[in-house]
Structure 1
Amino acid sequence: MAVTRRIVVGGVLAAASLLVTACGGGQIGQSGGGDVNKKSMVLIPGVAAEPFYISMQCGAEAEAKAKGYELKTQAPAKFDASQQTPIVTGVLANKPGAVLIAPTDDKAMAGPMKQLKDAGIKVVEVDTKLQDTSVALSSISSNNEQGGQLAADTLAKLVGAKSGSVLVLNTKAGTSTTDAREKGFAEQIKKYPNIKYIGQQYTEDDAAQAASKVTATLSSNPDLIGVFATNLNTGEGAATGLRTAGRTGQVNLVGFDASPKEVDGLKDGSFQALIAQDPATIGKLGVDQADDALNGKTPTREIPTNLVAITKADMDKNSQYFYKSSCSG
């Protein structure tokens, strides 16, 4: 994408919440009260400045522009319902025609998102989703349980006949995507009798916590031969923990996502494999489903998107799955 984009982060209703001004220009929602602005959409990712969500934003922006919509992106500083909720409230006051949102908690965000729906705003879930299926018209995400299974199979292939224990690093309890990844992994790894699954640990989506939990697990489980990190931050933190312990390459690290840092880690051997999503397509399809809803068509309720396992040997042919740090270039 050749157009340079500037992301500016600022407050919506609370100082802890950030505003990302995307490359579309103009103001969100041209109508003050009453009817929604049917040519306006807002994307509310799970967190600001994360390559997965930036890639999603790039896909959404390009599709919105092609379909004649103004799309703005507003994101919290942290993946946290207490920071995402005031953003939803601020968006509600502007009455856009549709909101694409990655709820940061599958229960806590139900109330705020239902307010959008009750105001006549079309709600589409991208990446994560609520337990309550009555709020959003469509949910677009990777098949995360299948992604966890793919991670287990990939880790087992890397380990081969060697025996030992494996750990899953999850993010926050109540995050629909990563919980599904752990579930798929836990079920699939049972097929490999030489591998002992010692369970999951939560990192609060913090790389430093992921690093410390890896080093602590190495102390209590010296037979550790594998780690599956369920998202970008836990993966980067796990790589740091293994590096600190001098176990890089000895403990096979399978990460979820393909951020620039993770791709670099795959190149230098910090990661042995990545399970990559297709966030740009998730953003594109989110706009398409919102467009259908705004034009009286029935959106597709559930849409799964592709996942691919990438190793150093095949990373060049899978480079289209690498995430972006900006929408330029």
Structure 2
Amino acid sequence: MRKTHVVKAASVATLALALAACSSSSDATDEASATAGGSNDASSSESVSVSFIQGVIGDNFYISMECGVLAAAEDLGGIDVSVQGPQKWDPALQQPVLASVTAADPDAILIAPNDISALQRPLEEAAEGSEIVLVDTTVEDPSFAVSEIASDNVGGGAAAFDAIKEMVPEGGKVLVIDNQPGISTSDARVEGFEGAVEADADFEYIGVEYAQNQPAKAAQIVTSTLQAHPDLKAIFATNIYSAEGAATGIEQAGVAGDVQVVGFDAGPAQVEALEDGTVQAIIAQQPFDIGYQGVEQALAALNGEATESKIQTGFTIVTKESLDTEEGQAALYASTCK
């Protein structure tokens, strides 16, 4: 049986102020914890325990999401946060993390599942004692969750193709480099990109290759693809590691500027690639907002209040020209949190 908490949330500071507070210092570790009581009053003296399970430790996307989780906990008050995650994106590594968290019986769990199938049953079991909020990724049947919060990934994939069309108005061959099948977010990005490119007769889609979150493998994919398709015009890389590897492969092949690359996410490696011209555009998600709203939804569920079953956050297209603008800088991911 789930525990019931009644916690009165104090007024929430604006996300812009919270995001500014997020950009200072806190190392992402295998297990970090923070108590965010602040000066906010709560109607219960008992703290609410929230566990955030990242998709992978040390990823700037999930660090930024952690910043949002911690900022929400501080603003709302009376919330203890613990942060865990696997060292690699691997459901076999994430499952024991979830099992350990479930055994600790937190009031709520925010989690980015590593696989739509492998985490299904473990999360159903966890939901018997904790409120579950799915952040970023989801599972085959998320009906046990109080909310799913993620980017508009289909729209992000379509936007990536729009960016390529502006860079290559004459059309040509395009490639997608993805992580691996079975990840809800990147599957949706590929779907959005494929739908957009197939509707444009000027472009030839030569398919999707999987780099399994290994930049070196993504670089090899670029090299082998250029051997088979020397007239390749553009690459859409669906996540941080794919974009990093694509940029390396382009540079190694000596075709920087000739092959356009649009990457997903806005970590330091992507920004560096944008600055040096190996990547021409990046699609930045809003992980801070995802984490912040995840805590809000968990707290609402614990209070017995209505929750939003699905929340989609937006994205920002960042180019070298827009990088130093206020909007461009606000879109970049954090490396540490206060």
Same fold at TM > 0.5? yes
User: C-alpha deviations, 1:2-46, integer Å up to 9, x for none?
Assistant: 7632433xxxxxxxxxx22144499xxxxxxxxxx8610000010
Q: In the TM superposition, what is the alpha-carbon distance from 1:319 to its structure 2 partner?
A: 1.1
> Does residue 1:7 correspond to 2:28, yes or no?
yes
**Hey, what does 1:290 align to over in structure 2?**
298
Return the alpha-carbon distance in structure 2 between the equivalents of residues 173 and 303 of structure 1: 23
Matching residue's letter, 1:316? D
Matching residue's letter, 2:251? R
- Figure out how many residues of one structure are paired with residues of the other and give that number: 306
Q: Which of 47, 57, 81 is the equivalent residue of 2:56?
A: 47
TM-score by length of 2: 0.88
Provide runs of 4+ in structure 1 moved above 4 Å.
none
Q: Which of 3, 15, 20 is the equivalent residue of 2:31?
A: 20
CA distance change for structure 1 residues 206 and 24 in 2, over 3 Å: closer, same or farther?
farther
**Hey, what does 1:108 align to over in structure 2?**
118
Matching residue's letter, 1:254? V
Q: Secondary structure at the match of 2:113?
A: coil
Return the alpha-carbon distance in structure 1 between the equivalents of residues 82 and 329 of structure 2: 27
**Hey, what does 1:302 align to over in structure 2?**
310
**Hey, what does 1:280 align to over in structure 2?**
288
1:125 and 1:136 in contact (8 A); partners too: yes
Q: Secondary structure at the match of 1:197?
A: strand
Q: In the TM superposition, what is the alpha-carbon distance from 1:190 to its structure 2 partner?
A: 2.1
Q: Which of 225, 228, 236 is the equivalent residue of 1:220?
A: 228
2:36 and 2:70 in contact (8 A); partners too: no
Name stretches of at least 5 consecutive residues in structure 2 with no aligned partner.
1-20, 38-45
User: C-alpha deviations, 1:142-179, integer Å up to 9, x for none?
Assistant: 01001000001111111112x42110001011000000
1:5 and 1:22 in contact (8 A); partners too: no
Q: Identity over aligned residues, as a percent? A: 40
> Does residue 1:258 correspond to 2:266, yes or no?
yes
* Residues 154-303 of structure 1 aligned to structure 2 (within 5 Å): 154-161=163-170, 163-303=171-311
Q: In the TM superposition, what is the alpha-carbon distance from 1:268 to its structure 2 partner?
A: 1.3
CA distance change for structure 1 residues 3 and 183 in 2, over 3 Å: closer, same or farther?
closer
Q: Secondary structure at the match of 1:123?
A: strand
TM-score by length of 1: 0.90
2:28 and 2:57 in contact (8 A); partners too: no
* Residues 114-129 of structure 1 aligned to structure 2 (within 5 Å): 114-118=124-128, 120-129=129-138
**Hey, what does 2:143 align to over in structure 1?**
134
Q: Which moved more, 1:308-317 or 1:73-82?
A: 308-317
Matching residue's letter, 2:302? L
Return the alpha-carbon distance in structure 1 between the equivalents of residues 298 and 278 of structure 2: 40
Q: Secondary structure at the match of 1:47?
A: coil
**Hey, what does 2:16 align to over in structure 1?**
none
> Does residue 1:72 correspond to 2:72, yes or no?
no
Cα root mean square deviation, aligned: 1.5
CA distance change for structure 1 residues 63 and 296 in 2, over 3 Å: closer, same or farther?
same
User: C-alpha deviations, 1:24-81, integer Å up to 9, x for none?
Assistant: 499xxxxxxxxxx861000001000000000000011110122120111000001111
